[in-house]
Structure formats: C-alpha cells, structure tokens
A = this chain, B = another copy of it.
Amino acid sequence: MSRERLTLFDTTLRDGAQTTGVDFSIEDKLQIAAMLDRLGVDYVEGGYPGANPLDTSFFEQKRTRNARFTAFGMTKRAGRSATNDPGVAALLEADCDTVCFVAKSWDYHVHVALGCTLEENLEGIRDSIAAARSAGREAMLDCEHFFDGYKANPTYALACARTAYEAGARWIVLCDTNGGTLPDEVERIVAEVAAHIPGEHLGIHAHDDTGNAVANSLAAVRAGARQIQGTLNGLGERCGNANLATLIPTLKLKPGYAERFVIGVTDEGLATLTQVSRALDELLNRAPNRHAPYVGPSAFATKAGIHASAVLKDPRTYEHVPPETVGNHRVVLVSTQAGKSNVLAELERLGIDVHRDDPRIARLLEEVKEREAMGYAYEGADASFFLLAKRVLGEVPEFFTIERFKVNVERRYNAVGDLVTFSEATVKVKVAGETLISAAEGNGPVNALDLALRKDLGKYQRFIEDMELLDYKVRIFQGGSDAVTRVLIESGDGQGERWTTVGVSANIIDASFQALTDSISYRLLKCGAEG
C-alpha cells in the first residue's frame, strides 16, 4: 500500500521572528534558509516583504534550491483592488514560488480589527489569491484564528476557507493563532472542514499555548490535513509554534505515521536533525533546551543507577527510539545519584581503561559527589571529569604549579580625556623547577588571565600555542550562605578539537582560573606531554 505525502511548511523565518529576544539579521536568514532547505522541508516561509526593509531585501532573490520559497503577507484591504494594494504589490514583487496570504476567518475580528464587512473580507481573499495566481505564483491562505472563528460562526469560517479554495489556493491552512484549541477539538473541526475541502489541500498551523502544538498537528493529520506548519526548535511568539524538530522524528519513526505517510526529510536528513537544531540555537545565541524531545542534550540521558544497568544491557528496554536515528546520543550521567555502572560507562566513553572491580572507581564516585555538593557539575564538562578520573587513577603528572596570579581591571581617563577600561593580568608559574612570570592585557579580566597563563609555559609552550578560548558560560547560584559561581569554558585547538572544563568558586575570577588551568592540563595530558 503506497504512502501519502505529508508536506512540511517551515515558518521559522516569519512566525519564528516573533520569538522574544530573537531578531534575525539578513545573514541569519540566509544561513537558516539554507539549513532548512538542506534538511528537506517542503516550504520555507522567508518573511514578510513590504513590512520591513530587511524582509523586502531578503526577497530580492529566491533563497532556496529545493524548498518552495514563500512570501507572507496580508490579503488586500477593503476598498481597493488587489493590484492597487501596496501590501499585495510588495508580495508580487518578491522573488518567490509561493505567496501565503493571511486573512481573518473569525467574524469578530473582521468587525473589531479590520472594520469592514464579512463580504468585503471574502472578496479580499478571493481577489488576493487570484492576483497571486495571475502573477504565476502558487497561492495559499492562512485562516487566522480559524478554530475560534469556527466555534463562533462555523458558516463564516468555512466560507473564508472555501473562498480561497475556489479561487485556486493550493493550500488552506487552519491556524490556531492564539494557541488555545485542544487536540480533540482540532480533530473534530478539521474533520468537519475536510468534508467540504479535500484534506490534500488542508494545512494546520498550531501554537503551544496549552502545550498541545505537536498533538494538535498530529490530530489534524489524523483528521485529513496534509500540511503541517511549524518552526525549528519551536520558535515563535509567546509559547512558540509547533516544533518541527519534535514532529519530524515522530513522522519518520513512529509506525502509526511512518507506515501511512512519507515526508520530504530523508533518513540521512533525519540523522542531521540534532546538529541542525543546535546550529540554530548557536546562531541565535540561545541556550539549547536540554529537555527537548529527540534532539535535546538530555533527551536520551539516564541518571539513576538502576536504569543505567538495564540500558547498558539492552537500550530497547528504556529508549523509545535509537538516539542515532536523529543524530543524538545516549548519555549516562555522572551525578550524585550515579551508581558504579554510570561511572564505568562514562569512563568507557572517554576512553579511560579501568577494570570494573577497581576500588578506585568507588573513590572517584565519592570525589564526584563531594565536588557536586560544592557546586561542580560534570555533565557537560567532559575534560574536567576526564582529568578528575585520571587524577584518582594517579595518572596525571604535575605539569606546572601556580605560585600566584593577579588580575587588575581599571576604568580611568586616558591621555586624550576618554574614559576607558584596561584589563591586565600577571601569572607566576613553576614549570620543571623553573619559575616563570608573565603579564598580559585583554579585553576583560578573564581574557587577560587566559593570555597571561598561556604566554610562557616553558617546555610545554608548544603544546598550547594553538589553544583558543571558544566559549565561556557563567552561572551563579546560592550554594549555602554564599553565592557560588560556576564557570564552564570551552577550548579548542583551531583544528576542530574542542573540550569543556569547569571551575567553581565564590569568586568569578577564581572559578575562571580553575577552568582555564584544567583546560591546559587536559590539553597537555591528551598531547602526551611528559611531567
């Protein structure tokens, strides 16, 4: 039995632009459009040409190769023809395959927000769709607030949808604009609409205001809809749009959907999903959602000792899908609840060879628990855990000892009367019996300290020459009576190798210094430097 085609419509660059704290630059939009195109979504809604200069220039050329490049905008305003409507004109000027119009489909809105008649609104839909088709574009209609509109006045809501269909729209998208509709309601209403408009022309646009965006999308598909609109990582205003990074794996891996439908994302594409999701977060400087389904860092993380042994025996006992299918991996967390099997699994993953009955495993577990009580967190600081383990095993030579460090930040007037800030650090180390003292300036105290620390490490200098500080994260929390600062530093060697270390102290400079020295020690150890 052949499978039906389900279409995925990505609106990350349009609806996703409404996310709190997100503002796409043109460069961002270009990169994201390319990512989405490669992933295999069928439509990329690039933005709203005419609404702002950035979007207008983004639509100067088509920005996707395979996905249909789509421009969003409003239907014509009442009282003018489509061709004389500046909004519609801007859409038709855009270099795109598809135009997605949005129109009111809730009579209340037509009165309150538009101030025109119900018939004028239908005319706006009809004429806009027709204008787009005359201009050689594929046309579709987003029916705004469809579900509330349908509950209030089903005849009118349906009339809006049918008007678009009869005018030749390829897709009529039923939008739960305020996100308040529940799955059983969506299923019922979509089924009723599908009795009038074929499901192959119906789409669903859900928001997560009741935590049901994904469920609403699936419910609409069960009721006959064949297009799902969403965003990568569930971006979008308020609680976000339906998360395509959550829907895509379900559609491809869960038999109830995978056996009935095929989507544009291939198995190879699916295996890049985690990386694509993280790349988007990085690009937008957003912390990834640890707990995101399928792609989150913790999606396949197991903590409790009992679970860990069962998982390691047979992952099917605890994992609903194999993590590799979505490009993720299993994590067996080292934490205060960790049992011996967790620690062993971590050591194995990091390539540290220890016999399972080695008594030092228990000591390592103790050390981890004690340090975590002080504020250390080894989840995400692999290099620090590696060092800790190696130290417990007695396999880390004393490469260098810190005699003293000093960091100075001063804001004062310079010679030309400007107030400027200077940061300077001095570090005194002992390397192979020799005392070395180095000073450096930086654009901040931690930068200065890092540069001073790595300026002259004697015999080890060549191993750390190409090191760079890639990322620096700070978290401050109450660990008792004093605030505790935890610093995570990600370092790199300029050739793709990256590692993360952690430092904890009441003093942010101290915490940073710990993470910096751990980073260097890790590097030296990995390079096989001799103590």
Chain A interface (Cβ < 8 Å from any Cβ of B): 17-21, 23, 52, 108-109, 112-113, 177-180, 182-185, 208-215, 218-219, 222, 234, 237-240, 243, 246-247, 250, 254, 256, 285, 287, 289-294, 296-304, 307, 310, 313-314, 317-321, 333, 335-337, 372, 377, 379, 402-413, 419, 421, 423, 443-446, 471-478, 482-483, 485, 505-510, 513
Contacts and interface: CB of A to CB of B under 8 A. Distances in A.
A111 B440 CA distance: 63
A208 B291 contact: yes
Nearest to A478: B285
A408 B408 contact: yes
Contacts of A298: 20, 237-239
The 8 closest A-B pairs by CB, nearest first: A180-B320, A215-B215, A285-B477, A444-B507, A211-B214, A474-B474, A211-B246, A409-B509
Chain A interface helix/strand/loop/mixed: mixed
A478 B239 CA distance: 25
Given A183-B215, A291-B208, A506-B443, A318 B243 contact: no
A404 B413 contact: yes
Contacts of A408: 406-409
A506 B444 contact: yes
Among A20, A333, A444, A477, chain B packs the most CB atoms within 10 A around the CB of: A20
Among A247, A372, A423, chain B packs the most CB atoms within 10 A around the CB of: A423
A319 B443 contact: no
Contacts of A513: 411
A239 B320 contact: no
Contact of A406 (B409, B471, B509): B409
B510 A411 contact: yes
24 contacts: A17-B337, A20-B301, A20-B333, A21-B290, A112-B310, A182-B254, A184-B218, A209-B320, A211-B213, A211-B243, A215-B215, A237-B307, A238-B300, A402-B411, A404-B410, A404-B413, A405-B411, A406-B409, A407-B408, A407-B409, A407-B445, A421-B505, A421-B507, A474-B476
B508 A508 contact: yes
Among A182, A335, A509, chain B packs the most CB atoms within 10 A around the CB of: A509
A406 B402 contact: no
Contact of A379 (B21, B239, B296, B379): B21
Contact of A508 (B337, B372, B404, B445): B445
Given A239-B293, A444-B485, 5 more contacts: A180-B321, A184-B218, A184-B256, A208-B293, A240-B291
Contacts of A301: 20, 237-238
Nearest to A176: B320
A488 to B, nearest CB: 11
